[in-house]
Amino acid sequence: MSEVAIRVESLTFAWPERPPVLQGCSFAIPKGQLWMLLGPNGSGKSTLLQLLSGSLTHPQPLSGHLEICGRLGYVFQNPDHQLFMPTVGADVAFGLGAEALAWAEIHRRVETALEQVGLKHLIRRPIHGLSGGQKQRVAVAGALARRSEVLLLDEPTALLDPDSQAELLRCIRQLVDQEGITALWVTHRLAELEWADGVIFLSEGRVRYQGSPEQVRQQLGQLFGAFRSH
């Protein structure tokens, strides 16, 4: 049985004096796989990702357990919310400032990370001169430079054109296949499921379906078919 990188067990979360946002969610994502977290707006996808990342700590979940095995990286929907430095190389190096690393090691990590996302040739390019897809790959490179083993991506293609969407999907798929990265990718686009190893469908705060993309498509097809037949 594959090692698990992300595990969620019976997780329930609610804001004070409000109905639960998440209700008894359970799933496990094996190491070295790309899974999509699919669901309509308001289903609890972003809340779940924030809980996994540790960015949402108050209030505490009402019940349940979650864990991530490995160093974590987070990619926002809008890359402009996490890219701060003037150039590509400086931004990828930014997160390494908290580590006691020699300059040569920082430079090596930055070059390696940018090579992994296909942007090494842009190491001195100003951030403002990049496309949206390139900015997202710089954000991914920053996580790789910090030796992240698990990536959480919150609708990273929402603001991208179709070509940039495909470019980013190929990049993450390659990192999973060649580098052994584990990725949980939040989406509302059914077309993106073809890139995934597994899919979790979240609705009204509950995990309704999970399995391979083919299995989840079939289950959703049956669900929507039942609605169309009434």
CB 127 within 8 A of CB 137: no
Q: In the chain, what percentage of residues exceed pLDDT 90?
A: 84
The total of structural domains in the chain comes to 2
**Secondary structure class of 214 (helix, strand, coil):** helix
**CATH number of the domain to which 162 belongs:** 3.40.50.300
* HSE-CB for 226 with a 13 A CA cutoff: 5
Q: Are residues 44 and 58 in the same domain?
A: yes
Same domain for 85 and 193 = no
Does residue 93 contact residue 175 with C-beta atoms inside 8 Å? Answer: no
- What does pLDDT average to over the chain? 93
What tokens were used for 141? 């490179």
Residue 1 has pLDDT above 70, yes or no: no
Q: For residue 62, what pLDDT is reported? A: 83
Tell me which of 190 and 60 has the higher pLDDT. 190
Residues 123 and 159 in one domain: no
Range of the domain at 110: 78-148
Whether residues 119 and 163 fall in one domain = no
Residue 54 and residue 84 in one domain: no
pLDDT at 98: 83
Give the pLDDT confidence of 187-196 residue by residue, as tens digits: 988 999 999 9
Task: Give the C-alpha separation, 45 to 39, whole Å.
Answer: 7
| pLDDT value for 229 | 46
Identify whether residues 153 and 141 lie together within a single domain.
no
Write out the two tokens for 168.
């980013």
224 contact partners, CB below 8 Å, separation of at least 6: none
More confident residue, 176 or 218: 176
**Is the Cβ–Cβ distance between 184 and 152 less than 8 Å?**
yes
Lowest mean pLDDT among 70-74, 133-137, 187-191, 224-228: 224-228
| 156 close to 175: Cβ distance less than 8 angstroms | no
pLDDT at 224: 65
Which two structure tokens, joined as six digits, stand for 193? 């499921």
